[in-house]
Amino acid sequence: MALKIIIADDHAIVREGIKALLEKRGREMEVAGEAADGRELLELARRTPADVYVIDVAMPRLNGLEAASRLLRRNSGARIVCLGMDCDRETVRKAVASGVRAYVLKENTAAELMKAIYAAARGGSYFSPQVSALVPVGPAAGGAPEPPDQAGRLTSKEREIIQLIAEGLADKEISRRLRISRNTVHAHRNNISRKLDIHKQTDLVRFAIREKIAAV
């Protein structure tokens, strides 16, 4: 039976490239769907679950790490391959802590991506060499609690709102996008300011970029 794979990347040309690569495998693999952002991915995964999800780390509306984390909370058995332009220790730590067990870079070869997909499908792990050097070992690798940091104080919804703010959306647009009232948006903003001790929008945008909540 073919492996069903969902591809999530905000660049159509990247999705087409991965799809073409998978289709070369003939009956081994089947592209079950494509998504251009994290929210679209979660909705697609709800309607059409896949065997493996190939997820771009940096996507609009809801970034890949947050989408992967929500997907794993919904289904702890989800097999996820993170795909990034680059990597740093903190991003890799967050991915592993959320339950991601495969991570490759877009600069890697097609063979590296295929290794990651096959490993994820088996329930194993695969990190490309550049990423592997940054994978945490010891208690952190198992998702054990770590010393609290600023981002760790935020709820999933608060991180999502920070990303939308960093992408330039006003409260009215955030309210419509998330289907919540503007009062609820204001309440989340107040909680974010209190938790982070950040009160200027420019500082909040810098925080979102630094913490990889939003792309540069």
CATH number at residue 62: 3.40.50.2300
Query: Do residues 38 and 74 share a domain?
Result: yes
Structural domain for 172, as ranges: 151-210
Question: In 3D, which of 195, 163, 151 has the Cα closest to residue 64?
Answer: 163
Query: Do residues 75 and 112 share a domain?
Result: yes
Per the structure, the count of domains in the chain is 2
Residue 215 lies in a domain: no
Assess whether pLDDT exceeds 50 at residue 2.
Answer: yes
Residues 6+ apart with CB under 8 A from 187: none
Residue 118 lies in a domain: yes
Q: What's 80-106 look like in SS3? A: EEEEECCCCHHHHHHHHHHCCCEEEEC
- Its pTM stands at 0.78
Tens of pLDDT along 91-132? 898 888 888 989 999 999 999 999 999 999 999 999 999 999
Query: Do residues 107 and 22 share a domain?
Result: yes
With tokens 């990034």, the residue in question is: 84
Question: In 3D, which of 120, 47, 97, 5 has the Cα closest to residue 112?
Answer: 120
Query: Do residues 26 and 111 share a domain?
Result: yes
Residue 18 lies in a domain: yes
DSSP H/E element including 63: none
Q: How confident is the model at residue 216 (pLDDT cuts 50, 70, 90)?
A: low
Tokens matching residue 109: 């070869």
Q: Domain of 200: which CATH number?
A: 1.10.10.10
Please tell me the distance from the alpha carbon of residue 211 to that of residue 90, in angstroms, as a whole number.
Answer: 8
**Phi and psi, residue 31, nearest 5°:** -80, 110
How buried is 177 (Cβ within 10 angstroms: 0-12 exposed, 13-18 middle, 19+ buried)? middle
Assess whether pLDDT exceeds 70 at residue 149.
Answer: no
Looking at residue 137, its pLDDT comes to: 64
Assess whether pLDDT exceeds 70 at residue 84.
Answer: yes
Looking at residue 27, its pLDDT comes to: 86
Q: In residues, how long is the chain?
A: 216
Assess whether pLDDT exceeds 90 at residue 57.
Answer: yes
Q: How confident is the model at residue 143 (pLDDT cuts 50, 70, 90)?
A: very low
Rg (CA), the chain: 17
Residue 81 lies in a domain: yes
Looking at residue 184, its pLDDT comes to: 94
Query: Do residues 76 and 173 share a domain?
Result: no
Beta bridge partners, 82, equal: 55, 103
Domain boundary among 108, 142, 176: 142
Please tell me the distance from the alpha carbon of residue 102 to that of residue 23, in angstroms, as a whole number.
Answer: 21
Residue 38 lies in a domain: yes
Domain boundary among 124, 142, 160: 142
Looking at residue 185, its pLDDT comes to: 92
Query: Do residues 47 and 129 share a domain?
Result: yes
Please tell me the distance from the alpha carbon of residue 214 to that of residue 163, in angstroms, as a whole number.
Answer: 5
Query: Are residues 178 and 160 in contact, defined by beta-carbon separation less than 8 angstroms?
Result: yes
Residue 216 lies in a domain: no
Residue 175 lies in a domain: yes
Query: Do residues 128 and 182 share a domain?
Result: no
Q: What is the mean pLDDT of the chain?
A: 88
Query: Do residues 135 and 167 share a domain?
Result: no
Domain boundary among 87, 118, 142: 142
